[in-house]
Amino acid sequence: DAKTTQPPSMDCAEGRAANLPCNHSTISGNEYVYWYRQIHSQGPQYIIHGLKNNETNEMASLIITEDRKSSTLILPHATLRDTAVYYCIVSQNSGGSNYKLTFGKGTLLTVNP
């Protein structure tokens, strides 16, 4: 699986957009970009994933560069409850013996009042 690089920590003001970057320069053509987050003392939670196109759901937007070597997770209006560690992961899509998620250290996002 390709590796990812994320900043160890970021701060964001409540109500502002949080933009979390991720570099994945060795991503291969069949690998997706996944984002998860982990709030303290809970299991990780799925946020969003994408292959080539930008994606949006009720939680966040995912912007993937055209060369697919980096991506940005956008939380449009951060709240205090969005304070968490955010993980960017690249992996083949589900199923079979090749599918697994390898977690890095992630980015600790702190949303400040």
Partner 1 sequence: DVKVTQSSRYLVKRTGEKVFLECVQDMDHENMFWYRQDPGLGLRLIYFSYDVKMKEKGDIPEGYSVSREKKERFSLILESASTNQTSMYLCASSFLRTFFGQGTRLTVV
Q: What value does the CA radius of gyration of the chain take, rounded to a whole number of Å? A: 13
H-type alpha helices, 1-113? none
Binding mask 37-66 for partner 1 (x = CB under 8 A): ----xxxxxx--x-----------------
Among 73, 106, 109, 111, binds partner 1 (CB under 8 A): 106
* 112 part of the interface to partner 1, by CB under 8 A: no
Among 27, 36, 75, 88, binds partner 1 (CB under 8 A): 36
- Which tokens sit at 69? 């070597």
- Which tokens sit at 88? 């960017």
